[in-house]
Chains A and B, each alone.
Chain A
């Protein structure tokens, strides 16, 4: 089983910076990726392609996703968070984000790039219920 760390998540500063850089590099399209680690502590970022190439929607490439899932298994890592950017809207899950949130044990991180400074928030999305999760960056 994957470990579920009760939605606490700690992100090292350099990985947090990498995540922001990936989202900015994808602008004006949405960018996406996966944060993996153990016991709620992130140790690896997977910067993924958005095959939709769209400013309003994202989807991981299925082959790339499969490789990452295998890499996590081989390294005994759990998928702790799924991140994506909202280039022109707030850091809050959209109706589409909620309807496609299949990985309830993960934190869904949204990076809003609508203001000058990025706004990053984490959420648990379970059966349509959205709850904000504190992201600890250190």
Chain B
């Protein structure tokens, strides 16, 4: 078993159209780096300098990692990680 990662539509062009991919257990940032090895270009869309970008939300199971241990949040086999770009803007 691996970690299930849900990819948002804007990033599916980097995962050959796949909505769900598998990643390695570890921490959130390690998982993002593992995805980069398989899907080049994806890490910089999600993170910058080891931090998740401000306008990207990452959830482990159903909780926003900002309310857990942020990039150091552990992820284990069987967990579901969702990457969801924020919805924001302004005048």
Contacts and interface: CB of A to CB of B under 8 A. Distances in A.
Interface size range of chain B in the complex: 20 to 34
B9 interface: yes
A50 B58 CA distance: 19
A35 B46 CA distance: 25
Interface in A1-50: 1-2, 30, 32, 34
Interface string B58-91: 0100101010000000000000001011111111
Interface residues of A, number: 36
Interface in A100-121: 100-105, 108
A2 B9 contact: yes
Contacts of B59: 66
Given A62-B66, A63-B64, A103-B10, A86 B91 contact: yes
Nearest to B55: A100
B86 A59 contact: yes
B57 A105 contact: no
Interface in A65-117: 65-66, 69-70, 82, 84, 86-89, 93-94, 96-97, 100-105, 108
Interface of A: 1-2, 30, 32, 34, 52, 54-60, 62-63, 65-66, 69-70, 82, 84, 86-89, 93-94, 96-97, 100-105, 108
22 contacts: A1-B12, A1-B17, A55-B91, A56-B91, A57-B91, A59-B86, A62-B84, A62-B86, A63-B64, A65-B57, A65-B87, A66-B59, A70-B62, A84-B89, A94-B89, A94-B90, A96-B88, A100-B89, A102-B8, A102-B10, A104-B9, A104-B10
